[in-house]
Structure 1
Amino acid sequence: MATIKDVAQRAQVSTASVSRVLSGDARTSAEMRERVLTAARELRFRPNAVARSLRSTGTRTIGLVVSDLLNPFFTELTRAVEDAARAAGYAVIVGNADESPEQQDHYVRILLGRQVDGLIVVPTVETSPLLHEAAASDHNIVLVDRRAVGVDAPIALADGATAIDELVDHLVATGRRRPAILAGPDLAGSSRERLAAFRAAVARCGLDLPESRVIHGDFRAGSGHDALAALLTGDDAPDAVFVANGPMALGALQHLAEAGGRAPRVPEDLALAVFDDMPWFSLLRPTLTAIQQPTAALGERALSMLLARIRGEDVPDERLECRLVLRESTEPRSAR
């Protein structure tokens, strides 16, 4: 006998989409209903009425797909989502995309096939055909931290524009005139927003930010190491560097440690700041200035938004403010 998976494969949709069509869900499109019903007729599919009835009550599970679990930001986010979901009577299935669009879509496909009641996704890149299809098929989806072009789903994200403004004002006040940025991948929405905010703040202060002082990494430590090395060996060496996330900042610090006496001194020669605080940044010497994200609140808010979507409510986007934490790495030279 044909199964629901066979129908989904024939119709080239998810099993969740087949289930919605066969249960008479009015939110499915006419084109999708036609594809699914045609596939079911061709395969002589007979739905299991008992299983369908059980599914209609919901599975009390949600899927969470994050871009890199080795990044402490996403580890804390995952914990917050799980805690909030448990309190609401839901279980969470986690998939680690490892910054791979293919792996991200692999987990989205599996989670939809397991009939989760909704998905919370941190997209690896801005565009994902599978996420677009899932949202267009009226699956309950909430995005976190990064937008996905063409995906009609609400998003919860940290707004760092004000904190970045405050950071640049501080750098200028402490005498820095040649700022640089180790940005994240150009396809990641959060990276583009941070770079745009930094450019705007630098321009507002009347300073230049030439392309020679903008280097893109991949949000991982190795790229932060190599990017800072490239910046410091160029003809236009900076006197202040803003790093777009925590793991890249660790890589940048590793480069400074390896260079030893050949490296610029922080903060006497080079001010260093990072977007996204980590617990051990306050233990370093010098301590590291950071923009602190409301990570736990983001996870809790994303779960709350998803539960509202499951209840059929309209859900607006949510922006939570970040906070600048000034430490020794951006102190004025005279202060040390």
Structure 2
Amino acid sequence: MAGKNPIAEKIHELTDRDLTFMHVCGTHEAAIARHGIRSLLPKNVKIVMGPGCPVCITPQGEIDAALELATKGCIIATYGDLLRVPGSNGSLESCGADVRVVQGIFKAIEIAKSTDKEVVFISVGFETTAPTVAAMLLTNPPKNFSILSCHRLVPPAMKWLLSQGEAALHGFVLPGHVLTVTGLDEYRQFPVPQVVAGFEPDDILLGILMLIQQIRDGVARVDNAYPRVVNDEGNPKAIAVMNQVFEPCDVEWRGFPVIPLSGLKLREEFSQYDAQKKFGVEIKPTKKHAACICDKILRGIASPVDCKLFDKTCTPRTPVGPCMVSHEGACKIWHHYHIRNV
């Protein structure tokens, strides 16, 4: 199959050792699975998944906080992906409260304007979505509106992964959507090859080829294989808006410990929109399901087929872990494309 694609053919030609690359984007995993990218690669080139699905890395304690807000009579507005993510006692879908699926924060604010009830938007996502949330909070939403901030920043998680050395990573395929906002600078701190890639098959293959070329040349830098969308500086206006409203904080990721300065909380001047403060809700650490290996999948040291629950006890209709819930979750992607081995 490699001969049918010139980029894949070049990858075969240049690969002379075992290599493991991690992508940090659920959309990349979906594209890799949909197009059979792994089947085009040499057997000694391995692509593993990282913490690139924002729903998957939302810890159970934050789901429990959302459920607590629902029991307090709040209207919960959220993305559809979050509905079935299991908390300690059920999910938003099964809780029986007023939970509404919205396309974004602007729709949640519309709901708040049309009711006297308290409306809480469960605000998840990386640097891609945080600026839009910040921009809407700058429009002075109604007093009955607030958010539960579950935002995360990508570079601190990459730093943690490299410090642990669990997956023996040789480089990263960087998330094109995130770097459209952030630009490249923050990623130059990491002493491994990195390439920003788009989401078409040739985009991903080109990113992998550029990583291999860096390794052969003995260099470690950030290359851009997605210049039609990503530039060096990113979107300074979006970053400025995000930083005006949010500030970094230490937070737990599902599958990870508390990672310093890896989350975003509202600055004090926007505390009236902080659902945690408004309703006295605490986000508590929780124990994971003993048999679920979502944590290992998110750290790149296991794949969905390594889990004994995959497509048995754990399915999209009856998910045990979040990786089987989100359309960016590795388990749901592998279920959808019937992947049973790599």
> What TM-score do the two structures reach when normalised by structure 2?
0.33
- Greater helix share, structure number: 1
Higher-Rg structure is 1
TM-score (norm 1): 0.34
